């Protein structure tokens, strides 16, 4: 029996012991019992237990146990902190609680950092984050900088980016250091900020102190004058004396005027001041058709997916004229919308030659020179700062012609044509070449053909054909490969969805098959966003109808992710990644 009892062993804990212990120590302190050291700050004295402070502060542990002369002193004078701050630290040591407000926070935080009381530092950070407001954030930011609190500084910066213009109206704004002002003005994270309002805030800061006028150009170079409206430049910028008196500021103004009056030369005037304030790529869609028999209307809607983490498309704006089966390309964050049809036709009869450029910053449309030939079911790509259209069809039939658009000249010109007429093909630019695949040509083999265009030699060559014949499909290029996805294949009197997906590596001139699509999509929109391929809408031949499905393929994992749904069932959607201004309607 004795042997059995000796093997019984259990551990128990009293959950209330820690609180009871602290309570007991606090009572000892209040009654003046067993106190063994006095801390002095200025004229104030605090009697405490060495063991309590050493247990919760690395500073006091080193002082009392590390052989320092203070370890033998009855009274220790502390410098570098306030009496109010020390009182809060001592109260915390005996209670695990600290009472904070905006009046005492700097003293308490200073003492906590000085005495290496990490829990109190964390509680101070938590309080300051909760106390963040337009009125307080700059002062909190100064504390974050003073005490090297990186997490708090990130919170201050994030808050300031969201509320910069309101903060700029506060008195504290006039006293922020130059480097902090520049940090905010040059950021792409500012939200709901028009450039004219940023300019006014910067000028207010400059005019507060006459000695700052010499800093005008180094501050105002971060205002993006070219993105202002012409009326703002004339009425509100050039009337400010700093802009006239400072040589560099005059140059910023001249740069903006040139940018405004020469829209077709804006591509060659790109600078840090012409970049839209955003680091986030969105997905934008243009037009489409429901393919209804009783209505030939096509969509005027422009939708957007805010970012790759979003699951819902939102309305952005409207096209001046509805379109479907247009092609889009982006150059310097301007969207070019080319060709397509403005009324629904099942053939090339409705092809148009009209071309537009969309400026997302000003939400403005600019009509550019029309194509030399109307086109639908063609391909458009950007290569070396120019746009290239290939093939397609119109009321005259299928095309082999290729047109090149020069933005500076606002002019389309013919270059070397394709080796045969094709329509319903797909294409994309990769490196210094343009690749075009599949489509309706002369023979079945044309549906597998890969054409390659070299703008340097103005020559087309055939490369290795695709594994699968396909038409009305999609192509998109990633960092190191070119993908061909979806489309359809004709067989006698029926059409079938092509679910196969394959990629091409130009260096190897070789195609490789990867995970197939889950549902068929032809005549669909397709683009790359953050390493994922989005295939939007189109026609599903298994269902024999247009679809709203959005399939998302992860190029890193070779997996199809959870489907999204487009707001409407459309074919002939054009889409592209694009940076949009950061404001409340686009978040």
Residue pLDDT, tens place only, 501-528: 999 999 999 999 999 999 999 999 999 9
The pLDDT score that the predictor gives to residue 584 is: 58
Mean pLDDT throughout 335-363? 92
Question: Do residues 428 and 418 lie in contact, with contact meaning Cβ atoms separated by under 8 Å?
Answer: no
pLDDT band for 585, please (50, 70, 90 cuts): very low
Give percent above pLDDT 70 in the chain. Answer: 98
The pLDDT score that the predictor gives to residue 442 is: 82
Q: How far apart are the first and last CA of the chain?
A: 74
The contacts of residue 340 (CB under 8 Å, 6+ apart) are 287, 323, 324, 325, 326, 327, 351, 352, 375, 376, 572, 574
pLDDT band for 43, please (50, 70, 90 cuts): confident
* 463 class by beta-carbon count within 10 Å (0-12 exposed, 13-18 middle, 19+ buried): middle
Strand 474-477: give its sheet, edge to edge.
Answer: 474-477, 482-485, 501-505, 510-514
Which residue, among 315, 243, 242, 247, has the nearest Cα to 285 in the 3D structure?
315
pLDDT digits (tens, 9 = 90+) for 231-284: 999 999 999 999 999 999 999 999 999 999 999 999 999 999 999 999 999 999
CA–CA separation, 164 and 170 (whole Å): 10
**What is 15-131's CATH number, 3.20.20.70, 3.90.1150.10, 3.40.50.2000, 3.30.710.10?**
3.30.710.10
Q: Where are the domains of the chain?
A: 15-131, 177-274, 281-586
CA–CA separation, 3 and 512 (whole Å): 72
Query: Maximum distance among all alpha carbons in the chain?
Result: 107
In the predicted model, what is the mean pLDDT of the chain?
93
177-274 and 281-586 share one fold: no
pLDDT digits (tens, 9 = 90+) for 285-313: 999 999 887 778 899 999 999 999 999 99
The pLDDT score that the predictor gives to residue 587 is: 47
Q: Which residue has the higher pLDDT, 68 or 41?
A: 41
Least confident of 48-57, 218-227, 479-488, 563-572: 48-57
Mean pLDDT throughout 462-483? 96
CATH topology assigned to domain 281-586: Neuraminidase (2.120.10)
Residue 169 pLDDT more than 90? yes
Q: Which residues are bridge partners to 528 per DSSP? A: 533
Question: Do residues 324 and 289 lie in contact, with contact meaning Cβ atoms separated by under 8 Å?
Answer: yes
Mean pLDDT throughout 22-32? 88
Tally Cβ neighbours within 10 Å of residue 506.
18
Residue 586 pLDDT more than 70? no
Mean pLDDT throughout 75-101? 93
The pLDDT score that the predictor gives to residue 292 is: 81
CA–CA separation, 292 and 549 (whole Å): 18
Question: Do residues 140 and 126 lie in contact, with contact meaning Cβ atoms separated by under 8 Å?
Answer: no
Which residue, among 472, 539, 550, has the nearest Cα to 289 in the 3D structure?
539
Mean pLDDT throughout 337-343? 95
Query: Residue 272 — left, alpha, or beta (φ > 0 → left; ψ -120 to 50 → alpha)?
Result: alpha
pLDDT digits (tens, 9 = 90+) for 126-155: 999 999 999 999 999 999 999 999 999 999
Residue 2 pLDDT more than 60? no
CA–CA separation, 366 and 261 (whole Å): 13
Q: Three-class SS string for 292-354?
A: CCCCCCCCCEEEEECCCCCCCCEEEEECCCCCECCEEEEECCEEEEECCECCCCCCHHHEECC
How big is the chain by its Cα radius of gyration, in Å?
34
Q: In Å, how far are 318, 342, 428, 566, 573 from 284, measured between CA atoms?
A: 12, 19, 18, 12, 10
pLDDT band for 472, please (50, 70, 90 cuts): very high
pLDDT digits (tens, 9 = 90+) for 397-428: 999 999 999 999 999 999 999 999 999 999 99
CATH class of 177-274: mainly alpha
Tally Cβ neighbours within 10 Å of residue 537.
28
Query: Residue 176 — left, alpha, or beta (φ > 0 → left; ψ -120 to 50 → alpha)?
Result: beta
The number of C-alpha atoms within 13 Å of 171 and in the hemisphere containing its C-beta is 0
Pairing of strands 37-41, 75-77: parallel
């Amino acid at each position: 029996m004795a042997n059995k009892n000796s093997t019984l062993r259990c551990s128990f804990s009293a959950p209330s012991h820690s609180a009871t212990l602290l309570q007991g120590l606090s009572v000892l302190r209040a009654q003046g019992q067993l106190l063994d050291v006095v801390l002095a700050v200025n004229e104030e004295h605090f009697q405490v237990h060495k063991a309590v402070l050493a247990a919760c502060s690395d500073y006091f542990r080193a002082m009392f146990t590390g052989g320092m002369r203070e370890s033998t002193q009855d009274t220790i004078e502390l410098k570098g902190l306030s009496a109010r701050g020390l009182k809060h630290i001592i109260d915390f040591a005996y209670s695990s609680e600290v009472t904070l407000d905006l009046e005492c926070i700097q003293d308490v935080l200073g003492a906590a950092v000085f005495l290496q009381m990490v829990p109190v530092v964390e509680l101070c950070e938590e309080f300051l984050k909760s106390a963040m407001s337009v009125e307080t954030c700059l002062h909190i930011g100064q504390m974050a900088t003073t005490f090297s609190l990186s997490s708090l500084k990130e919170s201050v910066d994030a808050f300031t980016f969201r509320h910069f213009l309101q903060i700029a109206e506060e008195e504290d704004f006039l006293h922020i250091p130059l480097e902090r002002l520049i940090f905010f003005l040059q950021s792409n994270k500012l939200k709901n900020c028009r450039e004219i309002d940023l300019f006014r805030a910067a000028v207010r800061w400059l005019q507060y102190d006459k000695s700052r006028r010499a800093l005008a150009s180094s501050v105002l170079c971060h205002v993006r004058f070219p993105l202002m409206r012409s009326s703002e430049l004339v009425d509100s910028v050039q009337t400010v004396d700093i802009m006239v008196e400072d040589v560099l500021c005059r140059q910023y103004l001249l740069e903006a005027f040139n940018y405004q009056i020469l829209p077709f030369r804006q591509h060659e005037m790109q600078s840090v001041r012409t970049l839209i304030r955003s680091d986030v790529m969105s997905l934008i869609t243009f037009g489409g058709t429901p393919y209804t028999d009783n209505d030939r209307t096509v969509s005027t809607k422009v939708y957007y997916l805010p970012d790759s983490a979003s699951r819902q498309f939102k309305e952005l704006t409207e096209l001046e004229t509805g379109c479907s089966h247009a092609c889009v390309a982006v150059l310097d964050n301007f969207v070019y919308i080319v060709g397509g049809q403005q009324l629904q036709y099942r053939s090339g009869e409705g092809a148009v030659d009209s071309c537009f450029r969309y400026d997302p910053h000003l939400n403005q449309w600019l009509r550019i020179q029309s194509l030399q030939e109307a086109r639908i079911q063609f391909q458009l790509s950007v290569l070396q700062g120019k746009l290239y259209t290939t093939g397609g069809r119109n009321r005259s039939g299928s095309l082999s012609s290729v047109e090149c658009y020069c933005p500076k000249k606002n002019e389309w010109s013919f270059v070397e044509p394709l080796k045969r007429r094709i329509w319903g093909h797909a294409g994309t630019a990769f490196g210094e070449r343009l690749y075009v695949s599949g489509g309706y040509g002369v023979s079945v083999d044309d549906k597998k053909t890969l054409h390659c265009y070299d703008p340097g030699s103005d020559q087309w060559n055939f490369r290795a054909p695709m594994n699968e014949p396909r038409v009305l499909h999609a192509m998109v290029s990633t960092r190191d490969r070119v993908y061909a996805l979806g489309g359809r294949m004709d067989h006698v009197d029926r059409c079938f969805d092509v679910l196969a997906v394959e990629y091409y590596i130009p260096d190897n001139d070789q195609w490789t098959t990867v995970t197939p699509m889950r549902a068929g999509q032809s005549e669909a929109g397709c683009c790359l966003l953050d390493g994922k391929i989005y295939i939007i809408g189109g026609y599903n031949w298994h269902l024999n109808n247009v679809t709203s499905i959005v399939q998302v393929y992860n190029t890193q994992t070779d997996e199809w992710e959870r489907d999204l749904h487009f707001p409407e069932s459309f074919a002939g959607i054009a889409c592209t990644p694009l940076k949009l201004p950061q404001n409340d309607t686009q978040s």
